[in-house]
Amino acid sequence: MILERSGSIMKSYFDIEGDGGSDVIAQVEAQQEAVREALSGVRNLVAVGSGKGGVGKSTVTMGLAQALKGRGASVAILDADFNGPCQAHLAGLDAHPWIPSPQGLAVPRRQDGIGVVSMGSLVPASQPVSFSTVSHGDEHVWRSTKEFAVLGQLLSSMAWGSLDFLLFDLPPGAERTVQYADFLPSGVSFVLVTVPSDISRSVVARSVSALAGTSAQMLGYVENMAGYFCRDCGEIKPLFPSSGTKLDLPLLGRVPFDPELASLCDSGWPERRDEAHKAVEAIHVVAENLLQALEAQE
Ligand SMILES: Nc1ncnc2c1ncn2[C@@H]1O[C@H](COP(=O)(O)OP(=O)(O)O)[C@@H](O)[C@H]1O
Ligand SMILES: [Mg+2]
């Protein structure tokens, strides 16, 4: 059926033969090749996900970056949470342009050298990030496609250079987590973050079983907000009821809720991180276990 609308001829879906000449497969392969090429100097790709929102994925990602950096590794973060970007703020890189260089867009860096690529550096505070400028018709059908087109373009346009670690700070959603596993180059490893409540664990368990159906490796999980560090008495007190249930993955570490860490995050997680020593020490243990898990994989 051919429709005529304002002089132009529009074909219906059934009139289009094959992929309509767009050669989708070749386009996807070309994009994947460009991503592989851009990341060829990166030794380890580690995605920090969960499925659940608000459990501390972004906080743990930045903490891990700092702990790995402290061990002499070169590290960068890609904030893949395009709609809720936090990393630019955590890194003190709000309103920070991406400058073109002969090798691609230069990765913005914190004072300590950690590279951070986050939509929060480009899109002014309080404005939503919108993919509507990349319009292909039905928003509902294409939104996630656009998100991954943007991810592919970002990965291939940045001058990542030579890195020991590129950490991905993922958005929430089990289905999304799996899409990232399918999209990212093979060899990406996952760290999952939960808070120690049954509600959170049951959501993260969905991501674990969804990821089990992909080729991605799961290194283990982090229990964040595992107790509340009381600054008055210096003790870690219970925060969530302990039901004793666990995820079917190695536990990489337990990080307490430290009010000082929450305030450091709000103020841009500056070099004063040692003030939140309880949480920071715990994240160091996670980094150590992560390195061991990666070594065991080799
Ligand atoms: N261990 C912790 N101690 C103190 N505050 C924390 C801790 N983990 C996360 N937070 C705070 O909790 C909030 C949610 O954390 P965030 O990392 O943004 O979660 P997610 O990325 O999973 O949505 C932030 O305000 C962050 O500063
Ligand atoms: Mg986040």
Domains of the chain: which residue ranges? 27-297
Nearest atom (ligand 1) to Cα of 264: 27
**Shortest CA distance to 51 belongs to which of 166, 193, 232?**
193
The residue whose CA is least distant from atom 3 of ligand 1 is 257
Between 57 and 261, the higher pLDDT residue? 57
Residues 159/103, Cβ–Cβ less than 8 Å: yes
45 lines ligand 1 (CB under 6 A): no
pLDDT digits over 203-241, tens only? 999 999 999 999 999 999 999 999 999 988 989 999 998
38 lines ligand 1 (CB under 6 A): no
- 27-297 homologous superfamily: P-loop containing nucleotide triphosphate hydrolases (3.40.50.300)
**H or E stretch covering 59:** helix 57-70
pLDDT digits over 3-61, tens only? 454 455 666 666 767 766 666 677 778 888 889 999 999 999 999 999 999 999 999 99
- As a whole number of Å, the CA-based R_g of the chain is 21
Distance (Å) from CA 14 to ligand 1 centroid: 49
Four-point Cα dihedral 229, 256, 262, 290, nearest 10: 150
279 lines ligand 1 (CB under 6 A): yes
Distance (Å) from CA 270 to ligand 1 centroid: 15
pLDDT of 144: 67
